[in-house]
Structure 1
Amino acid sequence: MLKQLQQQFPAFRDCLPLAIGIDKQLLARMPGLDRKTMRAALGIHTGSMRYLRAMEKATVRYDLDGTAGAEVTDTHRSHAKEQLQQRFKKEAERKKAEKAAAAEAEAARLRQEKLQQLASKFSRG
């Protein structure tokens, strides 16, 4: 669905900040559109890093054809910025946890290796 929207409409293809009520514009242009699928596609699109980055710096919203419309409010810009910061923070935490887990696994491997060396040294052969 999202690919279809990107192919058909410049606002999606160019990842422009979408006009408020873009869902109504979509339904008017594509009457057979499943609302649930459309909402899911819109959620994926507007939650993407590319879209949030565009929103963070945007001043104007666009309709389906890419025609400029209403201004982007400071509140919406701030929201996009907060979403990006939360994502970056989560990603940093995930990487930190991965690194810690890898370090712990390496430490466990070294302990096991050391134990095996000691066992072979003191075993009765």
Structure 2
Amino acid sequence: MTTPTPGPLPGQNARQLLKQLQEQFPVFRDCLPLAIGIDKQLLARLPDLNRKELRIALGIHTHSLRYLKTTEKATARVDLDGNPAGEIMATHRTHAAELVKDRLKKQAEQRRTQREAEALARQHAQKLGQLVEKFSRSK
């Protein structure tokens, strides 16, 4: 009996969709702050889109560090064609700035933890080497 081949992982199709959107719409490629309701604009132009995959793709895009950094500094949102589509509220800019700060802090902590783990591994390897050397001499 054959086992069914697993389908794409959740989010995998969304990543492919995001890549397609980046190729098709410069506002995605350039990580410009998107208009509120951009999902409706996308569904109007591309009616065959899977809504769940679109929602995931938009989440991946709008939570990327590059998009958040752009949103933090921008004052206006854009539609799919790059035309102005409303102002970015100060609360949205502040929220983006907080997310950027948190993300960078978390990355710094992860790098510090990684460096500490590597140093500890080097110490263990060095001690192990000393023990091997000590016991190999005693023969």
Same fold (TM over 0.5): yes
Determine the structure 2 residue equivalent to 1:22: 38
Secondary structure of 1:65's partner? coil
Counterpart residue type for residue 75 of structure 2: T
Aligned match of 2:93:
77
Instruction: Give 1 or 2 for the bigger CA radius of gyration.
Output: 1
Q: How does 1:53-64 map to 2 (within 5 A)?
A: 53-64=69-80
Q: TM-score, normalised by structure 1?
A: 0.91
State how far apart, in whole Å, the 1-side matches of 2:21 and 2:134 are: 65
* Number of equivalences: 123
Gaps of 5+ in 2: 1-16
2:104 counterpart letter in structure 1: F
Could you tell me how far 1:73 is from its partner in structure 2? 0.9
Is 1:13 the counterpart of 2:65? The answer is no
Q: 1:49 is matched with which residue? A: 65
SS in 1 for 2:85: strand
Q: CA separation in 2, counterparts of 1:99 and 1:10? A: 38
| Corresponding residue of 2:102 | 86
Which of residues 112, 122, 137 in structure 2 aligns to 1:96? 112
Instruction: Please give the alpha-carbon distance, in whole angstroms, between the structure 2 residues aligned to 1:106 and 1:4.
Output: 44
So what's the TM-score if we normalise by structure 2? 0.82
Aligned to 1:119: 135
Look up the equivalent residue of 2:36 and give its one-letter code: I
How far the C-alpha of 1:23 sits from its partner, in A, is 0.7
CA distances 1:81-115 after superposition (whole Å, capped 9, x unpaired): 11111111111111111111111111111111222
The 4+ residue runs of structure 1 with deviation greater than 3 A are none
Q: Distance in 2 between matches of 1:103 and 1:21?
A: 49
**C-alpha spacing 1:13/1:109, structure 2 compared with 1 (3 Å):** closer
SS in 2 for 1:115: helix
Task: Give me the whole-angstrom Cα distance separating, in 1, the residues matched to 2:85 and 2:111.
Answer: 40
Q: RMSD between aligned alpha carbons?
A: 1.3
User: More displaced, 111-120 or 41-50?
Assistant: 111-120
